[in-house]
Structure 1
Amino acid sequence: MSNIKPVTYQNLGWESAADLYLPPAFDASVKYPTIVSTHPIGSCKEQTSGNIYAAALAEAGFVVLAFDASFQGASGGTPRLIEDPAIRVSDIRFAIDYLVTLPYVDENRIGAIGVCGGGAYTIHAAMTDHRIRALTSITGVNFGRLIREAFSEFNPVGAMEAMGKQRTAEAQGAARHVIDYLPPSVEAGKQMGLNDIDVLEATEYYKTARGQQPNGATSGLFSFNSAAMGWDAFLHAEVLLTQPLLVVIGDKPGGFGAYRDGWEIYGRAASQKKQIFVAEGWSHYDLYDKPEPVALALEKVVPFFREHL
């Protein structure tokens, strides 16, 4: 079994909270290849980025850091529940800053992995921080595209106007408006007319004992979501994304768009060494924690990092 060590370290004007997953028979005198693991939107370090992928990679011999995003989980920053892509990417850089201070981390063998929104944040971080030597996106979703499309009901300008009015109201003293990205239950979602596979399977993961965690908020501060409107996870990938890249997706497309985003970044990345693995018969949320599809993913992920780190 891997060992889990809770840690904190300095971010911009607050501290980040993280869990270090250490390999079995960990020896602090040895330099280890190390991986930063980034959680999905509305998630936390105790969910798929930590308890599934970080744990498995630690078992395979890597040191892995699973962290909570700024303004979320146990990390600092106010107001709470901001989902700002630029800061989410910056969080990965600060995670690396912390890791390179540890004597058992090989600073020349640092990789990164992320799940869902965390997968796309990892891609963007690798473009702008080449201390990341290799990266994996697990069912990655480009949050900028998603918020311009489905999350704004395909009316991004109207959504931005509403966000601007709400932010002004909050600046003038109104209560913060926190939106839940998901219905309270699968049944409630169906009664609301929601039938998209990603929405219903996300609800089944996050709103039941299967994946529910105290810090897995599945919510965001509405007035600050405008920061994602002009952001694109894949911008300049044709020039800046040169590291070895592994993209993992399921072949059951859903409304969050991981299938299309996976193929897009695989095509656009400048990486000379890149591969895409499609888990046939499995969906976006199956790849979060279901043993069979996760095992299929790890059969690709572990050898990939062993080769490139």
Structure 2
Amino acid sequence: MTEATVRNVTYRNLGWDTAADIYLPPGFDETKKYPAIVSTHPIGSCKDQTSGNVYAAGLAKEGFIALAFDASFQGASGGEHRFMEDPAIRVSDIRFAIDYLVSLPYVDAERIGAIGVCGGGAYTIHAAMTDHRIKALTSITGVNFGRLIREAFSEFNPVGAMEAMGKQRTAEAQGAERHVIDYLPPSVEEGRQAGLTDIDVLEATDYYKTPRGQKPNGATSGLFSFNSAAMGWDAFLKAEVLLTQPLLVVIGDKPGGFGAYRDGWEIYGRAASQDKHIYVAEGWSHYDLYDQPEPVGLAMAQVVPFFKERL
């Protein structure tokens, strides 16, 4: 099958522009109507990485319109302050992506799906609960960022972390330089030298900090003083009531510190959907599912028929 065609587009968000790539299927015909899928990138990532060049591209080859976008305040999208990771706005970004898709004459507004990777998977789940224009959704090794920041990212001291964030935000409001943190060490070797052993941290570093997955806008960065927005947020809140659409959860069976394995089983159990499925890629890890051909192939063997049957 020939490669998908990619168009670079921008569209209006709340008070800034979103940068996105539309992946068009082989033989694309603007006079026809196509099912479309929004693809949401991980935390610290960008549209040029796994959400775009792996999953959006793969779905386009199978006949879908796929849109991968940069989150607000990140990548090539607009918004200040830079590197904010605010879950409410991240979920809102997905709604604006749908707004853009349904404005296109070649998109069937009644056949919209959504997929997300890592933090983008959990954002996709939350978006689907409050926007039922999403008719089916898939989470690829999805991580609930609210839980993660309350636990590992705050060293299991969320109140202490919030106090530090508040002090930093006050300092910045009074003129101090903004404190942008890098979620990862500069290299796998330096991570190991610092005593890091978690599979997710080391494999994330191998993906984001090497030519394997590194892209100019994949900054792996967060504005520390604004991370408090995620502390009281739960991607799965009200899933037992509101998440009624068909759901596919894909996880690897090698648990790591970011918690995709536990989050995958949790949302599978909690979702109200009567058409829900979980696929465990045996022998593969969180970051294997970002770009490694064999586990991605296993995931896509589930994802493609799931969307084709429901969109």
Q: TM-score, normalised by structure 1?
A: 1.00
Partner residue of 1:207 out of 206, 209, 216: 209
What does 1:128-277 align with in structure 2 at a 5 Å threshold? 128-277=130-279
Query: Equivalent residue of 1:114, what SS?
Result: strand
Query: Equivalent residue of 1:175, what SS?
Result: coil
Partner residue of 1:22 out of 15, 21, 24: 24
1:114 has 2:135 as partner: no
For residue 76 of structure 1, report the CA deviation from its aligned partner: 0.2
| Cα separation, 2, equivalents of 1:237 and 1:18 | 28
Which residue number corresponds to residue 80 of structure 1? 82
For residue 12 of structure 1, report the CA deviation from its aligned partner: 0.1
Which residue number corresponds to residue 2 of structure 1? 4
For residue 70 of structure 1, report the CA deviation from its aligned partner: 0.1
1:32 has 2:34 as partner: yes
For residue 99 of structure 1, report the CA deviation from its aligned partner: 0.6
Structure 2: gaps spanning 5 or more residues: none
For residue 284 of structure 1, report the CA deviation from its aligned partner: 0.1
1:126 has 2:128 as partner: yes
For residue 232 of structure 1, report the CA deviation from its aligned partner: 0.1
Code of the aligned partner of 2:79:
G
Code of the aligned partner of 1:227:
A
| Cα separation, 2, equivalents of 1:72 and 1:126 | 22
Code of the aligned partner of 2:224:
F
| Cα separation, 2, equivalents of 1:38 and 1:223 | 24
For residue 243 of structure 1, report the CA deviation from its aligned partner: 0.1
Query: Equivalent residue of 1:108, what SS?
Result: strand
Query: Equivalent residue of 1:275, what SS?
Result: strand
| Cα separation, 2, equivalents of 1:272 and 1:241 | 10
| Cα separation, 1, equivalents of 2:4 and 2:215 | 20
1:91 has 2:93 as partner: yes
For residue 85 of structure 1, report the CA deviation from its aligned partner: 0.3
For residue 48 of structure 1, report the CA deviation from its aligned partner: 0.1
| Cα separation, 2, equivalents of 1:215 and 1:135 | 26
Code of the aligned partner of 1:184:
P
Code of the aligned partner of 1:307:
E
| Cα separation, 1, equivalents of 2:101 and 2:308 | 19
For residue 214 of structure 1, report the CA deviation from its aligned partner: 0.0
Q: TM-score, normalised by structure 2?
A: 0.99
Code of the aligned partner of 1:110:
I
For residue 211 of structure 1, report the CA deviation from its aligned partner: 0.1
User: How many correspondences in the alignment?
Assistant: 309
Code of the aligned partner of 1:45:
K
For residue 111 of structure 1, report the CA deviation from its aligned partner: 0.1
Partner residue of 1:48 out of 41, 47, 50: 50
Q: How many percent of aligned residue pairs carry the same amino acid?
A: 84
For residue 202 of structure 1, report the CA deviation from its aligned partner: 0.1
For residue 94 of structure 1, report the CA deviation from its aligned partner: 0.2
For residue 18 of structure 1, report the CA deviation from its aligned partner: 0.1
| Cα separation, 2, equivalents of 1:149 and 1:164 | 18
Which residue number corresponds to residue 13 of structure 1? 15
Code of the aligned partner of 1:30:
K
For residue 146 of structure 1, report the CA deviation from its aligned partner: 0.1
Query: Equivalent residue of 2:281, what SS?
Result: strand
For residue 289 of structure 1, report the CA deviation from its aligned partner: 0.2
For residue 141 of structure 1, report the CA deviation from its aligned partner: 0.1
Query: Equivalent residue of 2:204, what SS?
Result: helix
Structure 1: gaps spanning 5 or more residues: none
Query: Equivalent residue of 1:81, what SS?
Result: coil
| Cα separation, 2, equivalents of 1:4 and 1:259 | 32
Which residue number corresponds to residue 72 of structure 2? 70
For residue 31 of structure 1, report the CA deviation from its aligned partner: 0.3
| Cα separation, 1, equivalents of 2:141 and 2:291 | 12
For residue 154 of structure 1, report the CA deviation from its aligned partner: 0.1
Partner residue of 2:298 out of 290, 296, 299: 296
Code of the aligned partner of 1:198:
D
Code of the aligned partner of 1:210:
R
| Cα separation, 2, equivalents of 1:34 and 1:180 | 33
* RMSD, aligned α-carbons: 0.2
For residue 89 of structure 1, report the CA deviation from its aligned partner: 0.1
